[in-house]
Structure 1
Amino acid sequence: MTVSLPGPTAGAAQELPDAGLVDALAGFATDALRRGIPDEVATSVQGRLLDVLGLCVAALPLPTSAAALDFVRDQGGPARALAIGAGRTSASWAAFGNGVLAHSLDYDDTHLPSVLHPSASVVPAALAAAQAADADGDTLLTAIAVGIEVCIRIGMAGYDQNAGANLWFDHGQHATSICGALGSAAAAAVAGAPAGMPDAEVRDIVAHALAVAASTASGIIEANRTGGTVKRLHCGWAAHSGVVAADLARRGLTGPPTALEGRFGLFEAFLRDAADPAAVIAGLGTDWAVPGVFFKPYPANHFTHTVVDAGRELAAQGLRPGDVAAVEIGVPSAIVRTIGEPLEVKQRPETAYQAQFSGPYAFAVGLFGGSGLGAGLSDYTDALAQDPARRALMATVTVRGDATCDAIYPHQFPAIARVRTVDGRELTVQVLENRGGPGNPLTDAELRTKFTDNCTAGGLGAGAATAISDAVFQLPGAGLDALDAALTAVPDTAS
């Protein structure tokens, strides 16, 4: 699950296809459905499916999850897919419910340098569409792989390689939900394609699903800075939009062939003239980005992870919270506004959700000593966010842009902690590479530990968790019955 293949390269010198980018992506999706996907990609996808299902279970106790699932129950529709914790409902609303759960803990995987979270929308969309179509396990895995790849490639069109800048992020746009809507549309179109459907028809449906989804893509990230829980809805809405777009395309609704690169297309609307459309098709079908997507070891904004690790390393060296007089956390300048501003808010988070986006809190998690793989769900609670001892430490922590970190970002989210102790010592720790990526991967055992811990946090017993895990890894060559049965064991939260 940690094998790395080459990913798409931004700025590749490549002419755009005459038929348009959505047609090229649709051709890629159709070829994957007919020919299959590389073993390394399929293995990676199984890990991502397991990861997302664990996140869905872990998020069930959240008040926002209760609100979203209650909303799903009110929507009605044919009971063709499973919304975890809410029972069977329509495919589009099952995708919405599971997408909300998957992204709610900020524990879902991340692609770099596009800085988006592809699996939290694509997996729910593909799963719901596959259940509704009674697809088999191989089709589900292929649909997820295609959807993640499409999502990433559209995201890479917003990466400025020369400046090392993410244009979506710089514009305040949530690439995860914007690109996720299109990745989800591709995934849902592939998952819902009946066996024996002619290739030309599959290609046509995927293309129109992508073009339709381009009109539903949305998301802003102001909640990262100043609060609000709306970001938890983003992957749910992206998954829902993707399933709806694929369903409408199957029914004959059409979209423009230049929905991405056209004069009034998605790239012009969101990225203006700075988009890199060639990144969408560079190495398409041969260079897969999927296995290189970073799994998250900690349930917090990915920008904070190396800050946690810096605290952990200092703790291992013997530093204790009471020893600290002042801490400066150096990070890429582009992320200071997310995890370091407004500083008074980041130093005094009121809720666990605010703590997930706080650099000072991340350092406290690491120095106080976290659970799980180094920081777990139990380390992000309202009570700990307001804990006087942690707040005393956070009050000493500032976050600054750092030139060394700028040179590495956004291929990694590095951090450098510079500490002055009460007895006058100067300590420096550099963490320049994130855990969970190709260069510092989580092991299969660590991924299973994360899944099991998440199931426990959501109140699911060990036997039920094992049944889900076993069903995921038995998908190749099998149907979805075992997975459906295992997921049905998750209690309805309204019961």
Structure 2
Amino acid sequence: MTDTTTLSARLAEFATRTAAELPDRIAADSLGRITDTIGISIAAIATGPVQAAVALAREWGGNTQSTLFGFTDRMPAPVAALVNGTAAHALDFDDTHLPSILHPSASAVPAAIAAAEVSGASGRTLLAAVAAGNEIAIRLGNGADDPELGNNVFFERGLHATSICGAIGSAVAASVALGLDAVVTRHAIGIAASMGSGILEANRNGGSVKRIHCGWAAHAGVTAAQFARQGVTAPDSVLEGRFGFFNAFTGLHPIGDAFLEGLGDEWELDRCFVKPYPTNVFTHTGIDAAMRLAQRGIDVDAIERIELSVPMAVTRTIAEPREAKINPETPYHAQFSGPLTFAMAWRGGTGLGLSLDDFTQEAIDDPLVRRIAERVWYLPDAEVEARYPQALPTFARVFLTDGSVIEERVLANLGTVDRPLAAEQVQLKFDLNVRGLSGDTAGALRGVIGAIPAAGNVRELLAGMNWDN
């Protein structure tokens, strides 16, 4: 008999309740996340990982069930989720939540859309699927937040919560889109718990594997939901059990249920922000600090040393190893470099501050960028540490050759509730991301996305989208 008090049962009940009683405010949030995710995916089409995923998909073939964003191909739903999830995360431009330190939409949105095309779900159901999948992925990430450690345990262990929790969030999203009941959704959650994976060493030392993490999570989620629909089952205690999800990945056992507090009434999605810059989120307040400092007209040749204080836990991603961060091997790896992004922002970028156009080999080889980056060093600060992981502040101090010191303090990321992006800034991001499409195709895409809330059948809506430029 199913224990309805287990964590997976409570999450499944939340998912089915969301499908039946989706708040209008959260529906609007989901539409915004679909818009942002598809825009990012279009911008990522030419990247190596996306091209590799498309090549594999074509090699595998299969039923023409679901859309590949930006391509005329249609693929089996798990394969479409793999390709689209890879594209959604390939530029590190996807939405971000704190303190879970994960990017939920890059897997949940592709999984939900792929499954909705299979089932012919309504647009409203698709919005509910995205909301439930995102919220659950975030909540699971929050479950590994350890106040005594002062960090999220997933991150501390080098585990990518985005892909590990994202597999379960994607399973929930797919389950809602497929119209599964709470019992089958619970099994989908348990199946996906065996499928999530992802390690973060690529953030430090390079490689492109991280760019496929969300694709794999979306693929796992759709597959888990389909397995559950076919009758495969999972243990009730898959999350909290002695050999369950939390103990296996984080060593947290027994695990409490505090991370589920207010589920359904209070939405962690409210704290999940759209990224303004296509860089690792830990670099964003440093980018803002650099832009503010540049406005002061400081002579770069007069800079002796730049000290940045950020949470020391994040320096393992954006500052270490130092040589790799000062001299990143590719423009993509520069997106994970605190010194390089700080220097590029100081020099001046495009878009909202830094855009994808700024990350070229020529840009990261710019002598001015290198001169600034080589002067950047990271030091701890007690106030910064106290704010983490609820926030990712940067305190910057510029020491000049005349002995003077100039400071800037950025306490919150642009895009968060403390510094929200304006609607026109979010629209600018989307427009820049889809400008590779022809004008007619970009306009049609805007129309299709805008029609989702009232759509009676997502499959029919997307079938009318002509990606052929």
TM-score, length basis structure 1: 0.91
Which residue number in structure 1 is paired with residue 25 of structure 2?
40
For 1:450, which of 386, 406, 429 is the aligned residue? 429
Distance of 2:368 and 2:122 partners within structure 1: 52
- For the pair 1:122 / 2:114, whether they are aligned, the reply is no
Equivalences for 1:275-314 in 2 at 5 Å? 276-314=255-293
The SS at the match of 2:407 is strand
Q: Is the aligned partner of 1:239 residue 2:239?
A: no
CA 1:168/1:328 → structure 2, altered by over 3 Å: closer, same or farther? same
Q: Is the 8 A contact 1:158 1:276 kept in 2?
A: no
1:183 matches 2:169:
yes
Aligned to 1:252, the other structure's residue is in SS state coil
- Pairing 1:253–2:232 present: yes
C-alpha displacement of 1:483: 4.8
Q: Which residue of 2 aligns with 1:225?
A: 204
Residue type of the alignment partner of 2:62 = G
Among 457, 460, 475, the residue aligned to 2:452: 475
1:59 paired residue number:
44
Could you say if the C-alpha distance between residues 363 and 436 of structure 1 is closer, same or farther in structure 2, counting changes exceeding 3 Å?
Answer: same
- Structure 2: how far apart are the matches of 1:488 and 1:399? 49
- Change in CA separation of 1:462 and 1:320 when aligned onto 2, cut-off 3 Å: farther
Tell me the residue number matched to 1:3. none
Counterpart check, 1:149 vs 2:127: no
Taking the aligned partners of 1:325 and 1:53, their CA distance within structure 2 comes to 43
1:224-263 deviations in whole A, cap 9, x for unaligned? 0111110001000000000000001001111111110011
Output one character per residue of 1:263-291: Cα deviation in whole Å (capped at 9) or x when no partner.
10011101113674413421111111123
- Equivalent residues in 2 for 1:391-410, closer than 5 Å: 391-410=370-389
Aligned to 2:440: 463
How many residue pairs match? The answer is 465
Counterpart in the other structure of 2:75: 89
Tell me which residue corresponds to 1:72: 57
Q: Distance in 2 between matches of 1:323 and 1:296?
A: 33
Aligned to 1:14: none
Q: Partner amino acid for 2:444?
A: A
Match of 1:286, as an amino acid? Answer: D
Distance change (3 Å), C-alpha of 1:490 and 1:26: farther
Q: Distance in 1 between matches of 2:271 and 2:243?
A: 32
When residues 29 and 410 of structure 1 are mapped into structure 2, their CA distance, relative to the original with a 3 A threshold, is same
- Deviation, 1:220, is 0.5
Supply the distance in 2 between the matched residues of 1:445 and 1:75 (Cα, whole angstroms). Answer: 41
Alignment check: 8 A CA contact 1:19 1:257 kept = no
Structure 1 residues 137-146 or 470-479, which shifts more?
Answer: 470-479
Q: Higher relative contact order by CA 8 Å / sep ≥ 6: 1 or 2?
A: 1
Q: Point out where structure 2 has 5 or more consecutive residues left out of the alignment.
A: none
Shift of 1:416: 1.0
User: Alpha-carbon deviation of 1:484?
Assistant: 1.1
- Give the drift of 1:476: 1.6
What is the Cα deviation at residue 482 of structure 1? Answer: 7.2
Q: Secondary structure at the match of 1:318?
A: coil
Match of 2:98 among 109, 112, 119: 112
Residue deviations 1:339-382 (CA, integer Å, cap 9, x gap): 11111111111211111111111111211011101110011122
Is residue 153–residue 250 contact of structure 2 (8 Å, CA) maintained in 1?
yes
Q: Distance in 2 between matches of 1:223 and 1:53?
A: 24
Deviation sequence 1:416-440 (CA, Å, 0-9, x none): 1111124443111111110011111
Q: Does the 8 A contact of 1:320 with 1:367 survive in 2?
A: no
Q: Does 1:387 align with 2:392?
A: no
> Which residue pairs with 1:268 in the alignment?
247
Would the aligned equivalents of 2:159 and 2:199 in 1 still touch at CA under 8 Å? yes
Helix, strand or coil: the match of 1:401?
A: coil
CA distance in 1, matches of 2:459, 2:176: 19
Deviation of the 1:470 alpha carbon: 2.9
The match for 2:8 is 22
Please state how far the C-alpha of 1:208 moved relative to its aligned partner. 0.6
Q: Does the aligned pair in 2 maintain the 1:349–1:386 contact within 8 Å?
A: no
Normalising by structure 2, report the TM-score.
Answer: 0.96
* Whole-Å separation in 2 of the counterparts to 1:289 and 1:358: 28
Supply the distance in 1 between the matched residues of 2:261 and 2:468 (Cα, whole angstroms): 41
Distance 2:307 2:262 in 1: 41
Cα distance in 1 for partners of 2:254, 2:210 equals 24
**SS of 1:297 mapped into structure 2:** coil
Residues 399 and 144 of structure 1, relative CA distance in 2, 3 Å threshold: same
Give the 3-state SS of the residue equivalent to 1:239 in structure 2: helix
Kindly provide the amino acid, as one letter, of the partner of residue 47 in structure 2. Answer: L
Which letter maps to 1:76? G
1-side partners of 2:28 and 2:328: how far apart? Answer: 39
**Relative to structure 2, which stretch is displaced further, 61-70 or 104-113?**
61-70
Cα distance in 2 between the residues matched to 1:342 and 1:275: 35
Contact kept in structure 2, 1:331 and 1:399, CA below 8 Å: yes
Give the C-alpha shift of residue 106 in structure 1. Answer: 0.5
Q: What per-residue deviation string (whole Å, max 9, x for no partner) do you get for residues 280-332 of structure 1?
A: 42111111112320110000000000111011001112224344221111100
Give 5+ residue unaligned stretches, structure 1: 1-16, 194-200
Q: 1:489 aligned to 2:447?
A: no
The CA deviation at 1:465 is 2.2
Mapped contact 1:467–1:486 kept (Cα < 8 A):
no
In the alignment, which residue of structure 2 is the partner of 1:198? none
